Amino acid sequence: MKELISPFGRRRFIQTLGATALSTFPSLGAVGANEQVRLGVIGCGGRGTSLMKQFHGLKNVRVVALSDPDTAQMGKAAKVLKGGSVPEQFQDYRKLLESKDIDAVIVASPNHWHALHTIHACQAGKDVYVEKPVTHKMNEASKMVEAAEKYDRIVQAGTQNRSDTGLIKAFDFIQSGEIGKITAIRGLCYRNRDSIGRAKNPPLKPPTTCDYDLWLGPAQDLPILRKQFHYDWHWIWNTGNGDVGNQAPHEFDIMAWALGDPAMPSKVQSFGQRFGWDDGGQTPNMQVSWFELGGVPAIFEVNDMKIKPGTNASPAFKGTRVGIIVTCEGGEFRGGRGGGYIVGPDGKERLHKFPGDAGGGHAQNFVDAIRSRKADTLRGKLSRSTDTAALSHLSNISYRSGKPATSTELRNGMLADSPALLEVLDRQESQLKAWGIDTNKVPYMAGTEVSVDPATRKVIGDLANSEFAVPAHRKGYTLPEKV
């Protein structure tokens, strides 16, 4: 990236790509109904490889190019395609974007690259399928949406639950009013993760096969204190967002969908901690956020700890580990990816079942929109996904700007007037006791209440200009002033 002027100027970037006149950009990537859609993949880790195989299996769709700063990871991914297809490989994603033989790209790079990869792909005339969370920072959203609109690009978010046949039917049923008004909604992310360990002296070095400057991009060049280079960047603020920004964007998204996609909340607050793991991770392994969404009280729980050490079991709430619970006047929906069911007021009898397909048609939905050039047919719309990604960011802004508080202080303070939040705290305390953790000695972080202007989608008040709300991109990789 050294020859690029900072920030990535539109004209300089397009010259680097060797693209044709700007006026021709909207027509690039247009594919006829029976023509082959040619895809490039940016980011060849586990998720990128999975998406590559999924898209490559669709009719008249072919993965023709890969890009990853780590050539070893890219080479491994290149070998998984069947049928004799050998994609081109580019360590520098700009070289991939130069290609006139690519119609669209899959962006499955680490979170901190999602915005710039999407913006640059739009500038290069490529349609984009971008993984969640679509942003790493709240201030990236407007530039991504602006780029998609300016260059008339089809941009699908990897929120595949939006295409789950069971959830489509379930939420239509709920919104019809058959079981009364929605009175509360809850999202759950209970994962049985492990400590990522700590690289002490010396810090971890990137693989020799990796262009580390290119891998970092907009992230800061900091010592790597985790033991594993790939994937575990999720648990470092510099490059990831924790599980509230890894798994939770899916559940935040379907919570909003179940409620009819209301405007962002005006206030978000969170508490949590990284308990029990003395490792190189920074993000909390227990985190609870709460807010109102469309006038409905909402709670989101992250719990990455096993029930107790030495086991491989996670807790659950009302039989659900990862998903949502929609409480209505006459019943309750419980489910997530793969569908769900509705129980009656007694909480036991299953009144309706909505079996789903885990959103298997999401990739096809993107391809269909590429062919039709109708962005409104996308199920994972970018503008909607930036809003639900913001719930992750607001939760983390609250947590990171907070102060230590014992469980007693939480109980008698910020949670005192909420029986639902006190119930969550009780369950956490019981689980942590099994770990031998006394939260009156190892305190939580009690997050600050974050205020938001739903119209501008910006943090307001004392936190508006804080490092948590507006973190810096590294010089040379800043957001373009003009897309």
pLDDT at 9 over 90: no
57 & 200 share domain = no
Distance CA 50, CA 160 (A): 13
Is residue 314, in this structure, part of any structural domain at all? Answer: yes
Question: In the structure, what pLDDT confidence band is assigned to residue 10 with cuts at 50, 70 and 90?
Answer: very low
The percent of residues in the chain predicted with pLDDT above 70, rounded, is: 93
With beta carbons less than 8 A apart as the criterion, state whether 271 and 409 touch.
no
Could you read off the pLDDT of 279-309 as tens digits, one per residue? 999 999 999 999 999 999 999 999 999 999 9
How many whole angstroms from its chain centre is CA 411? 31
Strands 444-446, 458-460: pairing kind: unpaired
- 243: its two tokens: 């599980």
**Tokens in use for 351?**
């009144």
In a domain, 376, yes or no: no
In tens, the pLDDT along 217-234 reads: 999 999 999 999 999 999
Co-location of 419 and 329 in the same domain? yes
113 domain-assigned = yes
Same domain, 136 and 178: no
Runs of H (alpha helix) within 44-84: 46-56, 71-78
Residue 29 has pLDDT above 90, yes or no: no
For residue 436, being part of any structural domain is answered with yes
CA–CA separation, 226 vs 70, rounded Å? Answer: 18
Residue 478 placed within a domain: no
Q: What is the CATH number of the domain that holds 146?
A: 3.40.50.720
Q: Is residue 33 part of a domain?
A: yes
3-class secondary-structure state, position 479: coil
The string of DSSP letters for 365-420 reads HHHHHHHHT-GGG-SSBHHHHHHHHHHHHHHHHHHHT-EEE-HHHHHHTTTTT-HH
pTM: 0.93
pLDDT tens across 321-354, in order? 999 999 999 999 999 999 999 999 988 889 999 9
**Stretch among 30-34, 134-138, 190-194, 398-402 having the lowest mean pLDDT:** 30-34
Q: Any bridge partners for residue 299, and if so which?
A: 186, 290
pLDDT at residue 32, as a whole number: 61
One domain, residues 169 and 256:
yes
Instruction: Say yes or no: 93 and 170 in one domain.
Output: no
Check whether residue 105 and residue 171 sit in a common domain.
no
Mean pLDDT of 86-96: 96
Same domain, 40 and 181: no
The verdict on 124 and 269 lying in the same domain is no
Confidence of residue 471 (pLDDT cuts 50, 70, 90): confident
> What pLDDT is attached to residue 27?
41
Query: What are the DSSP calls for 313-381, one per residue?
Result: ----BTTBSEEEEEEETTEEEEEETTEEEEE-TTS-SEEEEEE--TTTTHHHHHHHHHHHT-GGG-SSB
Q: d(Cα 320, Cα 329) in Å, to the nearest integer?
A: 20
Average pLDDT over residues 115-130: 98
Span 455-467, average pLDDT:
92
Give the length of the chain. 483
- What is the per-residue pLDDT for 18? 36
Q: Yes or no: say if 226 and 235 are a contact pair by the CB < 8 Å rule.
A: yes
Intra-chain end-to-end CA distance of the chain, in Å: 18
Q: What are phi and psi of 90, to 5 degrees?
A: -130, 120
CB-based burial, 357-374: b 16+ in 10 Å, e otherwise: bbbebbbebbbbbbbebe
| Predicted pLDDT at 28 | 47
162, 184, 216 — which closes off a domain? 162
Query: What is the per-residue pLDDT for 201?
Result: 82
Q: Is the pLDDT of residue 432 over 70?
A: yes
| Residue percentage of the chain with pLDDT more than 90 | 87
Contact 116, 54 (CB under 8 A): no
**Single residue among 109, 136, 162 that ends a domain in this structure:** 162
Per-chain mean pLDDT for the chain: 92
Domain boundary among 162, 180, 197: 162
Residue among 299, 351, 360 at smallest CA distance from 326: 299
Note whether 95 and 231 are same-domain residues.
Answer: no
Is residue 15 pLDDT above 50, yes or no?
no
Indicate which CATH number applies to the domain containing 298.
Answer: 3.30.360.10
| Residue 209 and residue 75 share a domain | no
pLDDT at 23 over 60: no
Given this model, what pLDDT does residue 1 score?
A: 39
pLDDT value at residue 82: 74
Q: What's the confidence (pLDDT) of residue 405?
A: 98
What confidence tens digit (pLDDT) does each residue in 355-403 have? 999 999 999 999 999 999 999 999 999 999 999 999 999 999 999 999 9
439 CA to centre of own chain: 29
33: pLDDT confidence band, cut at 50, 70 and 90?
low
DSSP-derived secondary structure letter, 210:
B
The Cα 61–Cα 276 span in angstroms is 46
E strand or H helix that includes residue 65: strand 61-67
Residue 7 pLDDT greater than 60, yes or no: no
What pLDDT, on a 0 to 100 scale, did the predictor assign at position 22?
Answer: 34
Report how far residue 379's alpha carbon sits from residue 155's, in angstroms, rounded to the nearest whole number: 10
Instruction: Quickly state the pLDDT bin for 310 (edges 50, 70, 90).
Output: confident
How many Cβ atoms from other residues are within 10 Å of residue 330's Cβ? 13
Contacts 24+ apart (CB under 8 A), 368-371: 369/154, 369/156, 370/29, 370/31, 370/37, 370/103, 370/104, 370/127, 370/154, 371/31, 371/32, 371/33, 371/37
3-state secondary structure of 117: helix
Helix residue ranges, H only, 137-235 = 141-150, 165-175, 212-216
Residue 311's alpha-carbon distances to 14, 208, 318, 482, in angstroms, are: 53, 36, 20, 52
Q: What is the token pair recorded at 69?
A: 């700063």
Assigned domain for 370 exists = no
Q: Clarify whether residues 87 and 177 are in a common domain.
A: no
* Domain carrying residue 225: 165-357+382-460
Q: Quickly state the pLDDT bin for 11 (edges 50, 70, 90).
A: very low
Phi-psi region for residue 129, left (φ > 0), alpha (ψ -120 to 50) or beta?
A: beta
Provide the 10 A C-beta neighbour count for residue 223.
9
Residue 147 has pLDDT above 60, yes or no: yes
In single-letter form, the type of residue at position 457 comes to R
The pLDDT confidence band at residue 30, using thresholds 50, 70 and 90, is low
Q: Same domain for 402 and 314?
A: yes
| Residue 394 to residue 451: CA distance in whole angstroms | 9
Q: Is 35 left (phi over 0), alpha (psi -120 to 50) or beta?
A: beta
Query: Measured between alpha carbons, how far is 287 from 304 in angstroms, rounded to an integer?
Result: 9
User: Does residue 480 lie in a domain region?
Assistant: no
**Overall number of domains in the chain:** 2
